[in-house]
A and B are shown apart, each in its own frame.
Chain A
Amino acid sequence: MFDVFIDGLIQFFAWETFLFMNIGILIGIIFGAIPGLTGNLGIIIFLPFSFSMDPQTSIIFLMAIFIGGEFGGSISSILIGIPGTNAAVATMLDGYPLTQQGHGKKTLITALLASAVGGTISGILLLVAAPTIANFTVNFGPPEYFALTLFGISVVAGISGRNLAAGIISGSIGVLLSLVGMDTVSGSQRFTFGVTELMSGLPLLPLLIGVFAVPSIIEQLDATNSSKKEESKKVLINSKSKDPLTKKDVKKVTPTILQGSFIGSFIGAIPGAGASIAAFMSYDQAKRSSKTPQKFGKGEIKGVVASESANNAVTAASLIPLLSLGIPGSPSAAVLLGAFMVQGMEPGPTLFENQGVILYAIMIGIIVTSFFMFIQGRILSKYLVKVTNVPYQVMVPLLVLMCTAGAFAANNSVFGMQVFIIVGIVAFILKKLNFPLVPIVLGFVLGPLLEFNLRRSLVMSQGSWDIFITRPISLAFIAMTTIFLIYTLKKNKEQEN
C-alpha cells in the first residue's frame, strides 16, 4: 500500500493539477460567497470543463470548488450578515457581530485558518480511512452490496427532510428513473416510450444539473424580486486597520478548531448528514465546553471557528463512503460520482485495486487544496466581499446558459438539454410539495447497483429472501437500516410534539 501511496504522491506533482486546483478554489470561494449559490452548484456548472482534463486533475479541480465553496459561504456570513451557504448560518451567529465590532478582517482570516485546518484533517482521515474500509469491503457479495445500498438510500431519505415517507418516495422515484432504458440482465427495454435516446437510459449529468440547478435558479429569480435585494445593500463595516491575528489568538482557538475538525469529519463520513448539521453540532459543542457560553451569539470567535472547521471538514470526509463503498455521502459527492464515471472510474472497493495510484494522487491533492485555499483567502479576502454584490439579474441567464451547455456537453446532444429542463421542472414542483431532492439523485445513482445486487442475490438463493438475514454482514446492514428508520420516525415525532 505504501508503494502505491508514494506513486500517487509522485503523480500528484503535475503543473496542470496545481493550476486547476487553484482555479477551482477561486470558483468555489466565489460561488460560496454569493448568497443563494453553493459550492455544489459550482461543481455542477463547471463539470463539463473537467471532461477534457485527466482524471486526477478533473477530480481535484471539482473538489477544490467544493472545498472553496464551504469557506466562501463564510465571507458573506461574516462580512454582511447573509449566509452564503446553509452550512455558514452557524458562522454568521458570531461572525457578523464581530464584524459589527470592527473585527471583520481578523474574523475572516481566523475562519479561513479554521477552514484550512478542518479540510486538512478531514483529508488525512480520508487518506487513512477510505483504503482501510475498501479493503474490508472488497469481498462483499451481492447480498451485502444490496443491504449496504439500501442502507445508504434509507439514511439519505431519512435525513433529507422531516417527512420520512416523502424521503423514501423521492428515493423510489430516483431508482425508478435509473431503470429507464435497457435492463442489463435480460436485455428488455423499460419505460422508453419508443424514444430512441431513452434506450441507453437517462443521462446522469443533465439529470443532476436539472435536479439541483433549476430550483436554485428559480430561487435567484425570486431574489431579484424580494427583500434580499435590500439585504445585499447592507454596508460593510470597515475593519480596524491594525488588528492582526496574533499567536495568542491562534492558541486560544486551536482546541476548538481541532474539536470542530473531528466532529465535521465524523459527521461528513455519515451518508446524508452534511455540512450544515456538522457546523451546528460543532458550534453547540464549543458553546457547551466554553467557560463563557453567554458570549456565544454576541461575537465569540470560538463560535466562528467551531462552525467553519466543521463545515470544511465535511468535504473530504464525505468522500469516504464514496471511495470505499461507492455510496455518495452528500449531494456534492453524488455529482463527483458522475465525474468519476465520466473519467472511466467507478468508485467502490475495487477502485483502490485497479486505480490506486490515481486515487492516492487525488486524496493527496485534496489535502494540499486546503493549504492553497488558505493562501488564496489571505491574499484575496479584501476583494472577495465584492463578489456578493453580483447582480442577480445577470446571474440568472448566465447560470441557465452554463447549465444548458453543460447538459448538452454530457452527450453532445440536445436530448441532454431536454432531460435537464423536464427533470428540472419536476424537481421544482416536488420541492414546492416538500419532497426532498437529494434522495432522488442518490436513488438514481445507486438504483442500478441496488437492482443488480437484489436480483443476483435472489438468483443465488433461488428466490429466498433469507439470504439477506443469514449472512452476517448483510444482516448487520439490514438491522442498521431498520434501527435508523425507527430512530428517524421517533425523532420526527418528537420534533412534531
Chain B
Amino acid sequence: MEIRIPTNLVGGIIMMLLSIIIWFLIPEQIATDPAFQGGIVDSRFVPRILVGIMFILSMFLITLSLIFKKENIVVYDLKNEFRAFGYLGILVLYVLLVNYAGFLIACLLMGIGTLAYMKSKSLKYYMIIIVAFLIIYFVFTNLLAVPLPGMGV
C-alpha cells in the first residue's frame, strides 16, 4: 500500500504549527536580563526573527500548494515506512535501556534485535555482530578511554 504526501502542504502546516508553538514558548523559555529588557538586542530578539521567518515561509508553502496548486508529491510504501519507524522505536528502546542495563548489554540486545527485526536467519551474522560489538566495546573503553556506562547508570 502506498501513501502520497503533498510535501509543500504537509511540511508547511507542520512548520507553521511549530513556529506558532515556539513563538508562544519564547516568553516562558527565555527570561530577559533586566539590563537588556526592552532593548532591540535582548535574548528574545534573534529567536523571534527566526520564528517569524519560519512562519512566513511555511505560509508561503501552504499558499503554493492550496492556491497556486504547485505541489511536490512524494510516494512512500507504507509497509517500508512502518518498518522504518518500527526500527526507530527499537533505537529509542536501546538508548533508554542503556540507563538500566548498561552499554554492553543494551548494545548486544540492540544488535541481536536488529538482525531479528531484519529477519536474518544466518547464525554467522549473529556471531559476527556479537564478536564485533565486544571488540568495539573494548576499543572504546580501553584504547580510547571512553567510559561507556556499565550497568545501572
Contacts and interface: CB of A to CB of B under 8 A. Distances in A.
A168 B60 CA distance: 12
Interface string B90-110: 011011001100010001001
Interface in B91-144: 91-92, 94-95, 98-99, 103, 107, 110-111, 114-115, 118, 120, 122, 125, 128-129, 132-133, 136-137, 140, 144
A472 interface: no
Contacts of B67: none
A421 interface: yes
A165 B57 contact: yes
Contacts of B43: 183, 185-186, 188, 190
Interface residues of B, number: 72
A434 B45 contact: no
Given A168-B57, A185-B43, A405-B140, A433 B7 contact: yes
Contacts of A218: 84, 87-88
Interface in A424-481: 424-425, 428, 432-435, 450-451, 454-455, 458-459, 463
Interface stretch (A28-36, A221-229, A297-305): A221-229
Contact of B125 (A186, A191, A391): A391
Given A186-B36, A401-B133, A409-B146, A166 B115 contact: no
Contact of B40 (A398, A417, A463): A463
B129 A434 contact: no
B61 A166 contact: yes
Given A397-B110, A421-B95, A173 B54 contact: yes
A175 interface: yes
A189 interface: yes
Given A187-B33, A401-B110, A433-B5, A172 B50 contact: yes
B91 A190 contact: no
Contact of A404 (B35, B95, B147): B95
Contacts of B41: 185, 455, 458-459, 463
Interface string B69-92: 010101010001101100110011
A243 B45 CA distance: 66
B107 A412 contact: no
Contact of B98 (A165, A414, A454): A414
Interface string A182-204: 01011111111100000000000
Q: Which residue of B10, B36, B122 has the most chain A CB atoms within 10 A of its CB atom?
A: B36
A190 B44 CA distance: 9
Nearest to B87: A221
A230 interface: no
A403 B47 CA distance: 30
A48 B139 CA distance: 11
A396 B118 contact: yes
A132 interface: no
Given A188-B33, A221-B83, A434-B11, A400 B91 contact: yes
A397 B81 CA distance: 19
Given A393-B118, A404-B95, A169 B58 contact: yes
Nearest to B132: A398
Contacts of A186: 32-33, 35-36, 42-43
B32 A188 contact: yes
A487 interface: no
Given A398-B129, A404-B107, A414-B149, A190 B57 contact: no
B111 A397 contact: yes
Contacts of B32: 186, 188
A412 B146 contact: yes
A190 B144 CA distance: 34
B125 A434 contact: no
B54 A191 contact: no
9 contacts: A48-B144, A165-B57, A169-B58, A186-B43, A187-B33, A190-B43, A191-B29, A400-B111, A401-B111
Interface of A: 48-49, 51-52, 162-163, 165-166, 168-169, 172-173, 175-176, 179, 183, 185-193, 214, 218, 221-222, 224-225, 391, 393-394, 396-398, 400-402, 404-405, 408-409, 412, 414, 417-418, 420-421, 424-425, 428, 432-435, 450-451, 454-455, 458-459, 463, 496
Interface of B: 5, 7-8, 10-11, 14-15, 22, 25, 29-33, 35-36, 40-43, 45-47, 50-51, 53-54, 57-58, 60-61, 64, 70, 72, 74, 76, 80-81, 83-84, 87-88, 91-92, 94-95, 98-99, 103, 107, 110-111, 114-115, 118, 120, 122, 125, 128-129, 132-133, 136-137, 140, 144-149, 153
